[in-house]
Structure 1
Amino acid sequence: MTERRVRVYDDKAELAAAVAMRFIKRMRETLDEKDHAHVVLTGGSMGENVLTAVREDKDVDKVDWSRITFWWGDERYLPSGDPERNETQSRRALLDALELSPGQVKAFPAVGEHATIEEAAASYAADLAAAAPEGARTPVFDLTFLGVGPDGHVASLFPDHDAVRDTESVVLPETDSPKPPPERLTLTLPVINASERVWLVMAGPDKAGALGLALADANPNDVPVAGVQGRKRTVFFVDREAAAEVPDNLLIHERFWTAAHDVQS
């Protein structure tokens, strides 16, 4: 099992700024080691907050963004441009400001682009395969961001749904999501776990139970986040409210100093 860490920050703003700073540093280090990187983005309020903080970070221009391709872990199956789509939120927060080429932004299909949601899932799987090394079904994801629901779901893998148990597929349609909209597209857990690093960003008291169960190695069928494990490292970035049910010895308390742009343990 690879290393898991839990890093705790005082509040949502400090959390977003710290993750943004670490993301920029990680991308610079990755691009020093390889020609191109692949990053998987997430949605939700904290996902958007982190990307906004990246855009506003003083070091944002020190990353060669032209050498990064962006994917998503899941998507609400809605029309293109819908404000509830993860793609729309990510573009607004960061991607549009980076002036990326169209080929660098690999969005899930939107409603109307394919005859069925199953065809949409197959299309995204084909996009992933086209960017993969020979013999693989997906590119090597250098970093995957995930949000976590109060029920412990990640991407659109929900407790006790067939998708969370699927070990063969790359992309699946979810047609009965317990939270709206009911139709979604998602990467499967094995694909997420093939990522070099997985960063889970959680904030608020409603996430405390899910975080506690994840660290207690609950059954992923019941708590999907418990099944998340990056190949090199898995890091939970959380605020104090989300960390309320985690024993202190499992936590790394950090203070993010905005003015100095530094992290001290």
Structure 2
Amino acid sequence: MTKERRVLVHPDWEALVASVAARFLTKIIDVLEEKDEIHIVLTGGTTIGDGVLGAINASPARDTVAWSRVHFWWGDERWLPAGDPERNDEQAFDALLSHIALDPAKVHRFAASDAGLDLDAAAAAYADELASATEDERGFPVFEVMFLGVGPDGHVASLFPGKDEVLVRDRTVVAVRGAWKAPAERLSLTLPVINASERLWMALAGGDKASVLGLALAGASVDEVPVAGVLGRKRTVFFVDQEAAAEVPESLIAPGDEFHALVDQNS
């Protein structure tokens, strides 16, 4: 299948999060009809961690999903103590996970800073957990959907521009030190793991994301704009609001009816 990227523009933030939530519920219900278990990667942030996950939780379709058959992973995590509200996993539990009938054994959190491991050992532990969840020689599961936020500087997960971690190709998980955004210490999946996902769904809202999205779609250097190097195996979709779409080439904005057909069949 030809890899491709599409941009779907929404009138505002509320419409964006509602659209992503509805598409996600439809997609995983469909995939669970074909597979016994699936793997999903979550992220934090206002748009996905709060908005999209909260909209999934509020949907009447929420309880039609066999959540106990879904593995939840995270694309990155802040090196903070367990239970800290700034951790991505805590945000996900507040918004969605604490409200659904999941299987605790299928919830794969990164280690917390008070777990008795140092940052490098925590990265190695998550890499081992990824490997233990699959028989694939790549060393990590097939992720049906990976959610990613995008920072104004173009970072995805905790892969920041100009940092060595964005160029790592020989590991699945990296320890991040000196991140440009607090907290400076983090854990992150690497770009090869991100790009091995079946579907990469990124959500961007606000005018401060317009420039970096335009650069990414124009083929900027991955080292300078990490999101430029993101490309899923089947589909890569940028869900954006009008402000974030200000610098997106018209040729990459999918018309509504056409996009719906593509998503329903392939995304």
In structure 2, what is the Cα distance between the partners aligned to 1:202 and 1:21?
Answer: 17
In structure 2, what is the Cα distance between the partners aligned to 1:114 and 1:226?
Answer: 36
Identity level (%)? 53
Preserved CA contact (<8 Å) 1:114 1:120: no
Q: What is the deviation of 1:234?
A: 0.3
Aligned with 2:239: secondary structure? strand
Structure 2: runs of 5 or more not aligned: 258-267
Give the RMSD, CA atoms, in angstroms: 1.2
Aligned pairs, how many? 255
Q: What is the deviation of 1:100?
A: 1.6
Q: Counterpart in 2 of 1:106?
A: 108
TM-score, normalized by length of structure 2? 0.93
Identify the match of residue 75 of structure 1 among 66, 74, 77.
77
Q: Counterpart in 2 of 1:29?
A: 30
Aligned with 1:49: secondary structure? helix
Q: What is the deviation of 1:34?
A: 1.0
Q: Counterpart in 1 of 2:264?
A: none
In structure 1, what is the Cα distance between the partners aligned to 2:62 and 2:155?
Answer: 31
Q: Would you say 1:63 and 2:49 are equivalent positions? A: no
Q: Counterpart in 2 of 1:262?
A: none
TM-score, normalized by length of structure 1? 0.94
Q: Counterpart in 2 of 1:140?
A: 142
Aligned with 1:112: secondary structure? coil
**Which range is displaced more, 224-233 or 209-218?**
209-218
Q: Counterpart in 2 of 1:221?
A: 223
Q: What is the deviation of 1:211?
A: 0.8
Q: Counterpart in 1 of 2:254?
A: 252
Q: What is the deviation of 1:115?
A: 3.0
Q: What is the deviation of 1:251?
A: 1.1
Displacement over 3 Å in runs of 4+: none
1:103-140 deviation digits (Å, cap 9, x = unpaired): 12101100121331000000111110010124331011
Q: Counterpart in 1 of 2:201?
A: 199
Q: Counterpart in 2 of 1:95?
A: 97
In structure 2, what is the Cα distance between the partners aligned to 1:214 and 1:81?
Answer: 34
Identify the match of residue 185 of structure 1 among 172, 182, 187.
187
Q: Counterpart in 2 of 1:40?
A: 41
In structure 1, what is the Cα distance between the partners aligned to 2:124 and 2:117?
Answer: 12
